[in-house]
Amino acid sequence: MTIECPTPRHEDEVVLLGHGAGGRLTAELLDRLILPSLNGEPGPLEDAALLPGYRELVISTDSFVVSPLFFPGGDIGSLAVHGTVNDLAMRGAWPIALSVSLIVEEGLALAELRAVMESLGKAAQEAGVPVVTGDTKVVGRGAADRLFVNTTGVGQRHGSLHPSAALARPGDAVLLSGPIGLHGTTVLSTREGLGFEGDIASDSRPLHRLVRALTPYGPDVHVLRDPTRGGLAAALNEIARDSAVTVEIEESAVPVPEAVAAACDLLGLDPLIVANEGCLVAFVTADAADDVLAAMRSLPEGAQAVRIGEVAAREPRGRVVLRTLVGARRIVEMPLGEQLPRIC
């Protein structure tokens, strides 16, 4: 169900929408072009990076280009806060400061800009993180689509949590904190006027308190990741690859809201590769799984947490396998591009 784009190999080729979709094309662009230019090593890429010289601090950046700017359950302002807060949280960190940088298209109504900024301010306040610095650029009409927002965050790690995409181990339970597919289908439906947006809303929300609730189980929490661009399929494939393990999930256990399933059926989308902005996957030791699930369920944002699978020792490593409703097993591939551009 992925878009069939040619893999870029030659210098006469160009950037495709799929290069920004968080799937295989994004990984190739990073490994072949961006990281070599920066003298970076191809390898596990985490949601946030350690700050040199300050082992307890992490930093994460995200530019938000979602279209439309406003959608049920959120807008580009709140999304920009939640997205970066969550990237920090996935490294076991509590957000301590955000920067906000705007690129505005000439002609945007000040009322719209105000609405976005008020939503951003409210989201930051609710998350308890101050916006400490910012920047505003304006480009001429047609040089940008209304408004883009970059947020960069610094977070302080909980001493007991050291999750990494490379730390999944055979036997780990795979937990999911809530239903999938809401954000991507909501944004798409709103943008295209498909009509589902009356029944669903984005799950955009901050997850740092949910992560804090896991601190008592520190060493048992191996991996945390929020399945944003590329959806659950991309997140699990990255973990399987970076940890060199096989991840097995049970189709019947993955919560897909009815309206999401209906929208995906109609549109030919696979809910596994639709973006989320308010849930996380946690890989934890089997022994701690029940306690961690209970801790997650004690908070509203984790009320619907479930166990969806486990890590197998099976070969070949680096795979994600779905046990289907009829008992078959199918490989869940890393999405190539993504079905839904500009969902975050």
Query: Please, what is the minimum distance in Å from the beta carbon of residue 252 to a copy of itself?
Result: 34
Interface with a copy of itself: number of residues (CB under 8 A): 82
The DSSP-derived string for 198-216 is: GT--------HHHHHTTGG
Is the CB of residue 86 less than 8 Å from the CB of residue 45? no
How far apart CA 157 and CA 189 sit, in angstroms, is 37
Query: Please, what is the minimum distance in Å from the beta carbon of residue 318 to a copy of itself?
Result: 23
Q: Sketch the per residue contact string, 5 through 44, with a copy of itself: x for CB under 8 A, - otherwise.
A: ---x--xxxxxxxxxxx----x--xx--xx--xxxx----
Query: Which of 7, 42, 68, 125 lies at the binding interface for a copy of itself (CB under 8 A)?
Result: 125
Region from 146-154, 205-213, 216-224, 292-300 binding a copy of itself, contact rule CB under 8 A: 146-154
Query: Please, what is the minimum distance in Å from the beta carbon of residue 213 to a copy of itself?
Result: 22
Q: Which phi and psi (to 5°) does residue 104 adopt?
A: -115, 135
For position 192 contacting a copy of itself by CB under 8 A, the verdict is no
Query: Please, what is the minimum distance in Å from the beta carbon of residue 69 to a copy of itself?
Result: 13
Query: Which of 68, 134, 159, 300 lies at the binding interface for a copy of itself (CB under 8 A)?
Result: 134
Query: Please, what is the minimum distance in Å from the beta carbon of residue 70 to a copy of itself?
Result: 15
Query: Which of 31, 44, 50, 317 lies at the binding interface for a copy of itself (CB under 8 A)?
Result: 50
The footprint of a copy of itself on residues 250-269 (CB under 8 A) is: none
3-state secondary structure of 49: strand
Q: Which phi and psi (to 5°) does residue 28 adopt?
A: -65, -40
Q: Six-digit token pair at 136?
A: 């505003």
For position 312 contacting a copy of itself by CB under 8 A, the verdict is no
Region from 63-71, 165-173, 251-259, 260-268 binding a copy of itself, contact rule CB under 8 A: 63-71
How far apart CA 143 and CA 232 sit, in angstroms, is 33
Output 152 or 304, the one with its CB closest to a copy of itself. 152
For position 198 contacting a copy of itself by CB under 8 A, the verdict is no
Enter the DSSP assignment of 251: G
Residue 137 pairs with which residues in a beta bridge? 103
How far apart CA 233 and CA 331 sit, in angstroms, is 10
Region from 117-125, 178-186, 251-259, 271-279 binding a copy of itself, contact rule CB under 8 A: 117-125
Q: Compute CA distances 222 → 178, 214, 307, whole Å.
A: 19, 11, 15
Please report how the helices 76-89 and 110-127 are oriented relative to each other, as an axis angle in degrees rounded to 10: 30
Containing 237, the helix (H) or strand (E) segment is: helix 231-243
Query: Please, what is the minimum distance in Å from the beta carbon of residue 62 to a copy of itself?
Result: 5
